[in-house]
């Protein structure tokens, strides 16, 4: 299954690439090929064992007609997006000599907030799938194993986002002087709102990336619901 186009069109990737040079050769690599590099031998064995154990599910409960998983997903996304958009300036951020440190801490705090809310939602969706139908029970079980296998890699990649955002901060801190040379004057010279606007855009793009696994589970749930009904 080709996912290259969707992966390459990620808003988060596009934003970061506009500030940081991207290896074009690596960006053309298919997502399936990248996924293969993320999994070591132990991960592959674990995934195979999990697939074997859930190949013949015994669940018989029908998909509940009154399930509102999509609404729950949309509510969490909207609540998180509202939190990110209303992000206030960190203490001391408007000072002429402000450093990236307060922004960095604020970004880490918001990342943790997103991770906790989405993790709880993902578990809620898994539980609904587990009790919905045999095929969805399989998917829920496989999602747990995939999360365990890829979670550390995902955490590492998302943890690198603040460092890339710091490069944007540095760009805004060093506008060309009259002689054409960088002249550090601090983000406050541009108005901290400019950098905060970029930071919010990255946070919202990261939110979309973090929500993708849950949204995939909900889409599978909705597809199964249509088949059974």
The least confident of 39-53, 73-87, 213-227 is 39-53
Strand partners, 182: 176
CB 90, CB 102: distance < 8 Å: yes
Domain-wise residue ranges, the chain: 4-228
Distance between CA atoms of residues 194 and 191, nearest Å = 6
Phi, psi of 183 (to 5 degrees): -135, 90
pLDDT of residue 1: 33
Q: Tell me the per-residue pLDDT of 15-32, one tens digit each, with 9 for 90 and over.
A: 888 877 655 444 455 544
Give 78's contacts (C-beta < 8 A, 6+ positions apart).
Answer: none
pLDDT of residue 175: 57
**Prediction pTM value:** 0.76
Q: Is the pLDDT of residue 180 over 80?
A: no
For the chain, where are the alpha helices, taking DSSP H only?
4-8, 11-17, 24-27, 31-38, 41-53, 69-85, 101-130, 134-159, 161-173, 192-228
Averaged pLDDT, 117-123: 96
Q: Is the pLDDT of residue 84 over 70?
A: yes
Averaged pLDDT, 210-223: 92
pLDDT of residue 212: 93
pLDDT of residue 39: 56
Q: Is 182 helix (H, G, I), strand (E, B) or coil?
A: strand
Residue among 100, 109, 102 at smallest CA distance from 171: 100
Averaged pLDDT, 179-184: 50
């Amino acid at each position: 299954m080709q996912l290259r186009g969707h992966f390459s069109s990620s808003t988060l990737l596009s934003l970061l690439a506009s500030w940081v040079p991207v290896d074009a050769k690596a960006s053309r690599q298919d997502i399936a090929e990248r996924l293969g590099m993320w999994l070591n031998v132990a991960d592959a064995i674990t995934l195979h064992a999990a697939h074997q154990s859930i190949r013949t599910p015994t669940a018989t409960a029908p998909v509940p007609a009154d399930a509102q998983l999509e609404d729950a997903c949309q509510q969490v996304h909207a609540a998180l997006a509202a939190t990110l958009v209303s992000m206030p300036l960190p203490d001391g951020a408007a000072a002429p000599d402000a450093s990236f440190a307060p922004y960095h801490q604020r970004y880490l705090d918001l990342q943790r907030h997103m991770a906790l809310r989405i993790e709880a939602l993902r578990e809620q969706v898994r539980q609904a799938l587990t009790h919905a139908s045999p095929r969805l029970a399989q998917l829920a079980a496989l999602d747990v194993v995939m999360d365990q296998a890829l979670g550390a890699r995902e955490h590492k990649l998302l943890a690198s986002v603040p460092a890339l955002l710091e490069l944007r901060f540095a760009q805004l801190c060093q506008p060309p002087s009259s002689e054409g040379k960088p002249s550090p004057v601090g983000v406050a010279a541009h108005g901290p709102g400019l950098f905060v606007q970029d930071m919010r855009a990255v946070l919202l793009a990261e939110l979309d990336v973090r929500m993708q696994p849950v949204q995939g589970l909900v889409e599978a749930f909705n597809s199964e619901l249509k088949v059974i009904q």
